[in-house]
Amino acid sequence: MSKYINPYTDFGFKWLFGTEKNKAILIDFLNALFDGMEVVKDLEYRQNEHLGAGPEDRHVIFDVYCVTSTGEHIIVEMQNVRQSAFRDRMLFYAAAPIRKQAPKGAWNFELKRVYSIGILNFTLDKADLSVPEGTRAVEQTKSDGEDVTLKYRHVIQLMDIDTKVIFSKTLTFIYVEMPKFSKAENELKTLLDKWLYAIKTMAETECERPVSLTGDAFDQLFEQARYASLDEDEQRIYDRSLMDYWDIFAIEQTHYNEGLEKGKELGLAEGKELGLAEGKELGLAEGKELGLAEGKELGLVEGKELGLAEGKTQGALQMLISLVRKGLISVQDAAVQAGMSEAAFRVAMEL
């Protein structure tokens, strides 16, 4: 058993960030995440279950829900599993604190700001990150050399897509893609860097905490995260939560293994079916697109690599990519399992 509890687990996250005694931890983390957008001096935890307007309406349950001393509403969610309608789910959740602000009687519709924060143990789909040419994100990428697809912190607000003017700051979404955060301890520069490093490595820390994580909030974080400091009931709840977290990884690994077995059953023999036909379909057209020049460059060799090698399913390749993005296996190991070169695997991650 690790010395510290895992903050990715349901119990671990709520224990460290969602309890009154650990309020200072949440405040410090939020201020690091806001980076000056909002300054939280104090907050009050609110009921995390919100019922619908009627008995038949759906209700939502947040990991953490609080209101700051200046009235801003903040939802914080730890998300371990990708959902096809993830963005819509977060919109639905954010609607609850907006709706709750409506008083009885006359009202001028003025709202306090709502922040929906997601700590994601997966990467967003490439389509989720795509931006039209000319948007602020693209312009920033061109000006400072930063690849927007490598960004792990995303701030989303309503904006006029033509003028690039913010339409409303009432609702803000902040997402952090944890698998993209790969800084070593000696590379930590900002307070947010330190918080993300703490969250990502805490469960793997067998000795004392990293020397770079100093300050009252980190003192409290690591003290409260000590497994030995939990009482017997708390340890039992955490152990169950940890098993649930491990189940997520086990299920994904099972799906990957099943994908390999079913590759040939689904008519993928030799990578020809499902439109791959010798690597020509799916835009490969003899491997010429994407500069692959007859499918031979970057180790694709006639379009068979990129996870297709001898009938391995596209789904299996995507599962390997998912595991890499979550930091569960290395690119090198994934490439070996996919039967392709590391360079080709990296290209596949970008397709």
Considering the domain architecture, whether residues 156 and 187 belong to the same structural domain is answered as yes
Residue 137: Cβ within 10 Å count:
16
Instruction: Note whether 275 and 232 are same-domain residues.
Output: no
**Residue 49, pLDDT score:** 75
End position of a domain, from candidates 181, 207, 241: 241
At 79, is the secondary structure helix, strand, or coil?
strand
pLDDT of residue 268: 58
232 with 271, same domain? no
The reply to whether 130 falls in a domain is: yes
Clarify whether residues 84 and 28 are in a common domain. yes
pLDDT of residue 273: 52
Q: Please give the pLDDT value at position 68.
A: 97
Examine residue 251 and state whether it is found in any structural domain, yes or no: no
User: How many domains, the chain?
Assistant: 2
Same domain, 148 and 236: yes
Same-domain pairing of 281 and 212? no
Contact 271, 309 (CB under 8 A): yes
Query: Is residue 253 in some structural domain?
Result: no
At which residue do the structure tokens 């490969």 appear?
A: 284
What domain range is 286 assigned to?
263-350
The 10s digit of each residue's pLDDT in 205-262 is: 877 789 999 999 999 999 999 999 999 999 999 999 999 999 887 887 787 677 777 7
Residue 133 lies in a domain: yes
The answer on 300 and 234 residing in a single domain is: no
- Alpha-carbon distance of 176 to 299, in angstroms, equals 33
**Burial bucket for residue 193 (CB in 10 Å: 0-12, 13-18, 19+):** middle
Tokens standing for residue 318 = 């995507």
Q: Is the domain of 163 the same as that of 86?
A: yes
pLDDT digits (tens, 9 = 90+) for 79-124: 998 877 888 989 999 999 999 899 888 999 999 999 999 999 999 8
The answer to whether residues 57 and 51 touch, using CB atoms and an 8 Å cutoff, is yes
Residues of the chain short of pLDDT 70, as ranges, are 1, 50-60, 125-148, 256, 263-315, 326-330, 333, 351
Beta bridge partners of 75: 65, 116
**Domain end among 190, 207, 241:** 241
What pLDDT is stored for residue 74 in this prediction? 97
Crossing angle of helices 232-262/10-17, nearest 10°? 140
Whether 76 maps to a domain, the answer reads yes
My answer on whether 183 and 81 are in the same domain is yes
| Single pTM value for the model | 0.68
Taking CA 138 as the corner, what is the angle to CA 133 and CA 142, rounded to the nearest 5 degrees? Answer: 120
Asked, for residue 258, whether it belongs to a domain, the answer is no
Task: Give a yes or no: residue 140 inside a domain.
Answer: yes
Query: Does one domain contain both 268 and 227?
Result: no
Structural domain includes residue 5: no
| Shared-domain flag, residues 104 and 226 | yes
User: What residues does 64 pair with on adjacent strands?
Assistant: 76
- Final residue of a structural domain among 191, 209, 241: 241
232 in the same domain as 268 = no
